[in-house]
Structure 1
Amino acid sequence: MRGKAIRQSWSSKSKLGLPAFVFACSVFFVAGFYGSSLLPQDVSGLRARARFLESVSDGRDYAPLPRGETGDDSFFSIPFQVLSWEPRALYFPNFATAEQCQSITKMAKAGLKPSTLALRKGETAENTKGIRTSSGMFISASEDKTGTLAIIEETIARVTMLPRENGEAFNVLRYEIGQRYNSHYDAFSPIEYGPQKSQRVASFLLYLSDVEEGGETMFPYENGMNMDGTYDFKKCVGLKVKPRQGDGLLFYSLLPNGTIDPTSLHGSCPVIKGEKWVATKWIRDRVQDD
């Protein structure tokens, strides 16, 4: 009986004729598609997933173009994700290997000292205590006998298109539980700091360790947020980037017209659990002494 009922059902459909049947299926498909788009959907997992730049092959081979004396003879592929246009911030997954990160951390451990601040007019080490509580040290690529920093520095130059010679020495930092860096600018306003011989154009942060909880790099003014004059510089709000070993974060402190980008304000949230290691490369608009 069951089989007969099925056959009868199909027979009744077949009387519609093939064109009418196809048309009916199309109507139901379109209705289902648009109807599902109107229902609430949980997209948090999709938003959390990084979207990387991908190269899609169309079956053609691309030969490198004739290059200038300083150009490359082959293609480079470095995945990245645009995190923000205000400020201009880009994320680079797996920018360095775990071995490279461990090598830099090992070099820095013996020379760590309490981090200091560039002081504005009227500021002293005493009245700025607590703004930056990490420990760190500076090391240039020329001081690294393993060659690790030279490789990292060269790759940073490629992704920023800013010459290696314009970069300051690496500032390797360690943040322990509770340590932080309140929101600040990497560029120096001449009004607050006096005349500048050169200006910081961009900053590249290479995360040398994972952090179990806290320690995010945050941009409280991202896309104009919190800019009404009431923002507490100690608050950890806005766009947050979680440290992951080997990943890189690039952001620009200057706008294309050379003025300081007000949305490039950033800080380091307190470490809640674990330890944060990061190597910072500040890149200026002029060649720096090694």
Structure 2
Amino acid sequence: MKGKGKGVWRPKLGLLLLFISWSFFFLAGLFGSMLFSQDVNGVRSQPRLLESVEEYSPMPHGETGESSVDMIPFQVLSWKPRALYFPRFATAEQCQSIIEMAKSHLRPSTLALRQGETDESTKGTRTSSGTFISASEDKTGILDFVERKIAKATMIPRSHGEAFNILRYEIGQRYNSHYDAFNPAEYGPQTSQRVASFLLYLSDVEEGGETMFPFEHDLNIGTGYDYKKCIGLKVKPQRGDGLLFYSVFPNGTIDRTSLHGSCPVIAGEKWVATKWIRDEQQDD
């Protein structure tokens, strides 16, 4: 009986050991190939990234040109309106310096009134506080640096920009949806037009405070939109990041999708430096 038992069990045990060994080597090979594939992909992806950030030889330039090639990263957020996002446009230290130079000069923000409007009838539309500071007033040179960088990003001469409007939004404060461009039919004749706006976020915001575009891609137009509602494309403030959007088309007509506002701050505090850019040179 013992010899018969050995003859029956020995082949089964051998098959079991063979199956276990085969499974082990199969799984090991599969795992190893996955790791190898990841390593290969990782090695191959790096040169592609490096190739896209290669150094360029500068071209001969004119009297007003520059001797180096600049690369300012950006992301297109929308084509309607034309809105671009610039990560890490300024450093945390630069942002804090701008906040410090503005703190003692803050006053309740005001509005450019349409024909027939009054301060009383527009009360609550804009509840932030702010102050205007030109680059020439800043002895640290930080606003001058930021202004030059904005000119490069927009390709609009810095002489066309208004002074920086440094704004603070505390909890509950907001700016209802509005246009930065001035419609002559509502505001009367204008000597120049605001064509673009650049927002440099000077602080993070715990909750709320987004820049909103409720008419993005023609949404909510003609629906009886409540201008206090915080809807549509929303850009969350992050310290040092920039947001550029254009208020008019190249032919000079106002882009109705450039309607925008500032959502109420729910937690924290929002600081932003706004640069309005016009189609004519501005006095400093």
Q: Name the TM-score, length of structure 2 as normaliser.
A: 0.83
Equivalent residue for 1:103? 97
- Output aligned runs, 1:11-160, within 5 Å: 56-57=50-51, 62-160=56-154
The structure 1 residue matched to 2:260, chosen from 263, 266, 272, is: 266
1:242 alignment partner in structure 2: 236
Q: Deviations over 1:94-125 (max 9, x none)?
A: 10011110110001011100000000010000
The one-letter code sitting in structure 2 at the alignment partner of 1:274 is G
| 1:108-160 deviation digits (Å, cap 9, x = unpaired) | 01110000000001000011000000000001000001111000000000000
TM-score by structure 1 length? 0.81
1:35 corresponding residue in structure 2 = none
Cα offset for 1:61? 6.2
The alpha-carbon deviation at position 56 of structure 1 amounts to 4.8
Structure 1 residues 59 and 217: CA distance shift in structure 2, 3 A: closer
Q: Deviations over 1:6-55 (max 9, x none)?
A: 7999xxxxxxxxxxxxxxxxxxxxxxxxxxxxxxxxxxxxxxxxxxxx96
Correspondence for 2:191 among 185, 197, 201: 197
Please say which structure displays the higher CA radius of gyration. Answer: 2
TM-superposed CA distance for 1:4, in Å, is 3.4
Kept in 1: contact 2:56–2:69 (CA 8 A): no
- Deviating beyond 3 angstroms after TM superposition, the runs of 4 or more aligned structure 1 residues are 3-9, 58-62
Pair 1:58–1:171, CA change in 2 (3 A): closer
Is structure 2 residue 272 aligned with structure 1 residue 278?
Answer: yes
Matched, 1:4 2:7: no
CA distance in 1, matches of 2:126, 2:55: 51
Instruction: Tell me the amino acid that sits aligned with residue 133 of structure 2.
Output: I
Which of the pair is proportionally richer in helix? 2
> 2:33 matched to which residue of 1?
none
Instruction: Report Cα offsets for 1:172-225 as digits up to 9, x if no partner.
Output: 000000000000000000000000000001000000000000000000000011
The aligned length equals 246
The answer to whether the aligner puts 1:218 opposite 2:232 as a matched pair is: no
SS at 1:84 equivalent: strand
Percent of paired sites with the same residue: 72
Runs of 5+ in structure 2 lacking a partner?
1-14, 24-47
Runs of 5+ consecutive residues of structure 1 not aligned to the other structure: 10-53
Query: Using the alignment, how far apart are the partners of 2:65 and 2:209 within structure 1?
Result: 38
Give the CA RMSD over aligned residues. 1.8
SS state at 1:57 partner? helix
